[in-house]
């Protein structure tokens, strides 16, 4: 990839009311990263990590914002919501742990693999959360 | 295996991506939980599923899959088909049940993992 002086940034508002549009931001980011000529492996990591995070904002937090920046060293994904917060991050990070109700499972989600998967596919992941205030997940994927 | 062959084996109807019938795929998976597809799928090019919503197509897109087969005659909405078309994903629809459809493809040589012959 060409050297970049200024990071490239993308911003999205993620609608929490409409499950059927969830993941739309991830689809656009994937297309942009392809246009930037990034490797398929990097794009796959970003795609899975961001899509899982975007779905989480819709099913657990009534939507939020997604901010992506790309520089010559890494891709940073910041997902911020004003949802209920996560009471116990250690528990939420466990594979198979989910508070999703049956209605979410019939939509194909809520297996409790999202956060572990986000951690697996990012090189760095940080969760800031406060009950009743919201959650911000920051993920970095190195190029 | 060509997508055309998958269509034939499953007596499937092509809902979009007719121009991609010559596209080669080397493995498939069958799953109704998109969470599991995101967590466990590696490089399978085909997704067979009984779940019908837009997230099936977005999940397939995220995983670089080229073909989605809706089983048990489930009919995706025009919105779902349009999204697949936009993403360059073939959509097939078969009357077979998931188990049967998977069995037929597996028996015909389309495995769960890419073969390295
Ligand atoms: N943005 C969020 N806001 C509030 N709670 C969340 C958020 N993301 C995840 N969680 C909590 O963490 C749990 C585990 O998340 P995850 O691993 O993605 O599994 P799943 O989404 O399938 O439930 C969720 O069930 C939910 O309780
Ligand atoms: Mg999740």
Chain A positions in Cβ-Cβ contact with residue B35 (cut-off 8 Å): 108-114
| Nearest CA owner, ligand 1 atom 19 | A112
Say if ligand 1 is within 6 A of residue A84 CB. yes
A112 has a pLDDT exceeding 50: yes
For chain A, domains (ranges, CATH) are 9-142 (3.30.565.10)
Which residues, numbered 11 to 30 in chain B, qualify as contacts with chain A under a Cβ-Cβ cut-off of 8 Å? none
How close B59 comes to chain A (CA, Å)? 8
d(CA A134, CA B96): 45
For chain B, domains (ranges, CATH) are 3-107 (3.40.1390.20)
Q: What are the pLDDT digits (tens) for B51-99?
A: 999 999 999 999 999 999 999 999 999 999 999 999 999 999 999 999 9
Which residues, numbered 20 to 79 in chain A, qualify as contacts with chain B under a Cβ-Cβ cut-off of 8 Å? 20-24, 26-27, 30, 40, 44, 47-48, 51-52, 55
- CB distance A46 to A5 below 8 Å: no
> Which band of pLDDT confidence, cut at 50, 70 and 90, is reported for residue B117?
very low
Q: State residue A140 phi and psi, 5-degree precision.
A: -120, 135
DSSP character at residue B106: H
Give the global pTM: 0.95
Cβ–Cβ below 8 Å for A44 and B33? no
Say if ligand 1 is within 6 A of residue A56 CB. yes
A2 has a pLDDT exceeding 60: no
Instruction: Determine contact: A87 vs chain B, CB below 8 A.
Output: no
Model ipTM value: 0.93
- CB distance A134 to B55 below 8 Å: no
Q: Which two tokens stand for residue B81?
A: 């088909």
The arithmetic mean of pLDDT across residues B41-45, rounded, is 90
């Amino acid at each position: 990839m060409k050297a970049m002086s200024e990071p490239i940034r993308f911003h999205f508002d993620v609608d929490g009311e409409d499950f059927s549009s969830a993941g739309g931001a991830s689809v656009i980011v994937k297309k942009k990263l392809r246009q930037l000529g990034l490797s398929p492996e990097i794009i796959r990591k970003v795609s899975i990590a961001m899509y899982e995070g975007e779905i989480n904002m819709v099913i657990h937090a009534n939507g939020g914002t997604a901010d992506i920046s790309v520089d010559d060293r890494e891709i940073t994904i910041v997902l911020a919501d004003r949802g209920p917060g996560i009471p116990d991050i250690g528990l939420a990070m466990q594979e198979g742990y989910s508070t999703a109700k049956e209605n979410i499972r019939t939509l194909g989600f809520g297996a409790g693999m999202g956060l572990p998967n986000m951690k697996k596919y990012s090189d760095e992941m940080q969760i800031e959360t406060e009950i009743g205030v919201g959650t911000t997940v920051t993920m970095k994927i190195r190029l | 295996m060509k997508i055309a062959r998958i269509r034939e084996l499953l007596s499937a109807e092509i809902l979009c991506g007719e121009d991609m019938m010559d596209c080669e795929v080397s493995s498939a998976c069958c799953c109704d939980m998109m969470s599991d597809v995101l967590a466990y799928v590696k490089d399978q090019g085909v997704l067979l599923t009984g779940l019908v919503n837009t997230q099936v197509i977005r999940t397939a897109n995220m995983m670089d899959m080229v073909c989605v087969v809706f089983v048990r005659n489930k009919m995706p909405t025009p919105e779902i088909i349009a999204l697949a078309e936009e993403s360059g994903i073939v959509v097939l629809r078969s009357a077979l049940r998931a188990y049967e459809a998977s069995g037929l493809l597996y028996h015909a040589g389309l495995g769960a993992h890419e073969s390295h012959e």
